[in-house]
Chains A and B, each alone.
Chain A
Amino acid sequence: MAANLARLLECNIRCNNAAAVQSGWRLFSNQRQQQTEVEDDEEFRVLNLRTIKQQARRREIKKNAVQPPRTSRMPVDQDWTAVWSGPRSFHPASVPLPLRQGYTERGAAAPSKYANAELMKIPNFLHLTPPAIRQQCEAIKKFCTPWPKGLETEAKWKRPFPIEVITTDYCHSLPTIRHPEARRVTITLKLSDLKFDAHAKDKFLRLVGERYNQETGVLTFSADRCPMRKQNYDYAMYLLTACYHESFVTEPWEATKSEADMEVYQFERNQAKRSAEGILNWNATGEQKDAPSANYAKSVEALINEGENEYNIAKYKEEVLKMLKIAI
């Protein structure tokens, strides 16, 4: 086995040597022998010890021809929107304006626009010139529809659209366009836009609690518990609908509301009415009974609900005198 291998190797090396000699490679040299040339000129080669140094000629630095700035070739009536179509950092060769920016000591001129990093830093609005804006408005005009008729003023469109939806969009410079705060939805409407009876209104106000602002009469539902805006909007609308319909339901336990639970004094339910009736029907024999007048009822309610002030007491006195037919 070993003998075989050795023979094979030997043969290989011999073949290689032959090939090297034939193809012009000199072993142990890093330069290629150029056989054909030597045969042609038939001269002795000169030993040149400085070959390498001579070969490494100093390379001339060839500068590429730089085009002159584009501003020098711009016609006066060019289409600027084609030159500066979108937001871009300032480039002096594209802007035909003699701009200068930078602070210098007194008397010296500010740095020019060429190689001026300050001009590249500040945001520019060269892409938002009035003609560009006009052009863009013209382009998007075909997607617009006319404003609906009959909704010209706020008073007119407030009637069919009483609910106001408030959301916030965030524009920021991040790889993501999402912002967690954008999920919040607030809907507001006036309480007067909803139709109630007395019981339902009372119950509705108890259900909504602090969401109703008594001074302005505005209901506010805000939702932020769901991750998406649509879900929060749906939830806020659901809250409004559910509260409204629930307020019309009368539960059996609501009938057990006693006088101590009443939030306002009501003349109809109280002793004052019975006393007044007793006085009016003193020794009455007939079937018909006199009832205290509505004005008297109102004055008693005002006296107790609003408190005793000069006006209410005077009104009450007047009503009592009128009811008892006492002339002063």
Chain B
Amino acid sequence: MNFLKKVPTQILPLAEAQLSLSNKSALHTSAVCCRVQSGRYRITVKRDRPLTYEMANPPHFIGHRKSWNSWNTSTLKDALRPSQTAIEDVFIRKFVTGTWHALVCSEIIIKRQHNTIRIAAIIRQAISPRKMYFLIGYTEELLSYWMQCPVTLEFQTVADKKDVVFKYI
């Protein structure tokens, strides 16, 4: 009870009453559940971790400093197929990053309009244009077969990975 000595006298009776009501120790031993970590990056000692603009802005800036990576109407009220659309988007992301291995420099942006799916991303110019054209056709063909709708790839290319770096932390 010694630590209560520092408390101003007005609060003291209240604090004592609370203490007397709950005599149990309030020690939490579980993991911290309220920690928010996703989409945030730690600062390195050398300050050499490259971040794109997308990575530099944490998720609570979506709609303010950056916008969404998936554009569709499934998230509207009473819209159809919200879960299927989300799963399909995850699949498209995995497929494109795997097919364009070590070439995708940005997030994959999936925009759906009516029945077409438009996929945009920034690609490194590490392979020959011929291979790139093949991969575009391959990706479009397979994805449109799986999604049962036309798929268009709209890629932008950069010469170097460092072109998309926004800052180093």
Q: Which residues on A are within 8 Å of B, measured CB to CB?
A: 63-64, 66, 87-89, 91-93, 102-103, 111, 114-118, 120-123, 171-177, 179, 181
Contacts and interface: CB of A to CB of B under 8 A. Distances in A.
A89 B112 contact: no
B54 A117 contact: yes
| Interface size grouping (class) on chain B | 35 or more
Given A88-B154, A91-B156, A174-B81, A117 B107 contact: yes
A121 B57 contact: no
Interface in B102-149: 105-107, 109, 111-115, 118, 120, 122, 125, 128-129, 147-149
B118 A89 contact: yes
17 contacts: A66-B157, A91-B156, A103-B61, A117-B109, A117-B122, A120-B109, A120-B122, A121-B66, A121-B71, A123-B71, A172-B79, A172-B80, A173-B71, A173-B74, A174-B80, A174-B112, A175-B147
Contact of A66 (B52, B53, B159, B163): B159
B67 A114 contact: no
B109 A177 contact: no
B97 interface: no
Contact of B111 (A89, A92, A111, A116): A89
Nearest to B162: A115
Nearest to A122: B67
B158 interface: yes
Contacts, number: 101
A111 to B, nearest CB: 6
Nearest to B54: A117
Contacts of B115: 173-177
A42 B118 CA distance: 66
Given A115-B122, A174-B115, A121 B69 contact: yes
A92 B57 CA distance: 22
Nearest to A93: B156
Contacts of A173: 71-74, 112-115
A116 B53 contact: yes
B95 interface: no
Interface of B: 52-54, 57, 61, 64-69, 71-74, 76, 78-81, 85, 105-107, 109, 111-115, 118, 120, 122, 125, 128-129, 147-149, 154, 156-159, 163-164, 166
B32 to A, nearest CB: 30
B53 A111 contact: yes
B73 to A, nearest CB: 4
Contacts of B72: 173-174
A115 B125 contact: no
Given A89-B111, A117-B107, A175-B149, 18 more contacts: A87-B113, A89-B109, A89-B120, A102-B65, A116-B53, A117-B54, A120-B109, A121-B69, A121-B109, A122-B67, A171-B114, A173-B74, A173-B112, A174-B74, A174-B81, A174-B85, A177-B115, A181-B78
A173 to B, nearest CB: 3
Contacts of B68: 121
Contacts of A114: 158, 163
A89 to B, nearest CB: 4
Contacts of B164: 115, 117
A277 B52 CA distance: 100
Given A64-B125, A91-B154, A117-B53, A111 B73 contact: no
A122 B52 CA distance: 17
A117 B106 contact: yes
B114 A102 contact: no
Contacts of A117: 52-54, 106-107, 109, 120, 122, 164
B101 to A, nearest CB: 17
A93 B128 CA distance: 19
The list of the 4 closest CB pairs from A to B, nearest first, reads A173-B112, A89-B154, A103-B65, A89-B120
A182 to B, nearest CB: 11
B49 to A, nearest CB: 18
A42 B106 CA distance: 61
A122 to B, nearest CB: 6
